[in-house]
Amino acid sequence: MILASFATAQQPDFSAAKAEAVKHLQELVRIDTSNPPGNETRAAEYLKSVLAKEGIASEIVESAPGRGSLIARLKGSGAKKPLLLMGHLDVVGVERARWTVDPFAAEIKDGYVYGRGSSDDKGMDAANLVVFLTLKRLNVPLDRDVILLAEAGEEGTTEFGIDFLVEKHWEKIAAEYALNEGGASLVTPDGQVAVVGVSPTQKIPRGLKVIARGSSGHGSMPRLDDPITHLAAAVAKIGQWQPPMRLNDTTRAFFARLAKISPADQAWFYTHLEDPKTQQQFREHDIALNSMLRTSISPTIIQGGFRENVIPAEAEATLDVRALPDEDMPKFIATLKELVNDPAVEIVPLERGQQRPPAPPSRLDSEMYAALERAQQKAWPGAATLPVMQVGATDSAQLRVKGVQAYDIAIPQTDEDRKRVHGNDERISVEQLGKFVEYLWHATTDIAGKK
């Protein structure tokens, strides 16, 4: 009998849960949902079939052909508002020649599941699915509805996913609390989980374009107004510049708590953030912490010219700007123009618009945050839960605008694992995926279970 083998005395068999999460993760990775084009409906149909076998109804809503998101719900008593468990089905593309394994084979090697999306974000989808199934199998009494959402379009095309869902299907996903991808839980070199990072807020993508214009002409006659020369100088100035540090409630709490659990030599940096030595240390050796403290700028694309012997009339560069939530972007652009100090160079927002709205942070004194702290003590008793400023971006932003208290969490990773996200040989630890299922189970039953 399934229930007898899977759980005893209303507590899941977490070893079986880990094996099931790995199986679903492998099946999801094998479905290529690279965005573009996405094709998330194929992965949503897999989830729908799994749920149907357990007698759980679900629906797939499509924003465009093939761009489907799955929604399912377990009903509670209605005593409290719902909890949303969410993850996205699309993944970024791959450079196949640079992978040492097939990026869509979901190979297990040395304790890791390898494949595009294993970390971002199909591991989250698999964990959400197993927790959702287990609630049904054990017939856990609920004070809240628990909603499962596996969405399209997170990787740069939110109009096909969260934007569409909020605008057209809000009543199906509306919740008091949401758990989503995007935290930063760290595994030390000796395999221990030291920090479980919960993100109540995030920086906002505000990409910019730097455009240099001049006179076109023959490459044999150098010109003072060569756009490529002006663009290169402007990008160099911007890339070398460090925007000023600015703390908010989340980062202030993060560094204060991090100092308390760190060795004295490291804690000094966390308690002396404005010291030039700290700023240099972070910029050279801890770029994630450095980015957390300020609006960040990374030049990512540079384009200009079409022939070796032709000076182009225009050249441009793209800047990946991740703004602090309260950044005044017109003022920030004016500062960059003053820094560049070149009338031949223009700085403008990217034409694609802004995909993440500025949103208020979720509370650190909520029931959900406290439940996540208690869950961490059960799954990783030697660790500490810290509030983290998300330096990337997630679909939690759109939820927070609607009043949802959304918290971004993560399957623990080593520094090496984190470097592979959106990169080559992406992977996730089988052991930590299993522990994350346990963590998510405890948090979910704590906040949604009948008291």
Q: What is the pLDDT of residues 313-352, one digit of tens each?
A: 999 999 999 999 999 999 999 999 999 999 999 999 997 6
- The pLDDT value given to residue 384: 96
Both tokens assigned to 274: 């404005």
The predicted structure's pLDDT at residue 354? 56
In this predicted structure, what is the pLDDT of residue 93? 97
The pTM (predicted TM-score) of the whole model is 0.91
CA–CA distance, 332 with 204 (Å, rounded to integer): 14
- Sorted by sequence, the CB contacts under 8 Å of residue 413 that are 6+ apart come out as 119, 185, 186, 187, 428, 429, 432
Q: How far apart are CA 269 and CA 288, in angstroms?
A: 14
State residue 9's pLDDT score. 43
Q: What is the pLDDT of residue 352?
A: 65
Sign of the Cα pseudo-torsion (131, 132, 133, 139, in order): positive
* Predicted local confidence at residue 77, as pLDDT: 97
Residue segments in the chain with a per-residue pLDDT below the cut of 50: 1-9
Residue ranges of the alpha helices (H) in 214-357? 227-240, 249-260, 264-271, 276-285, 287-292, 329-340
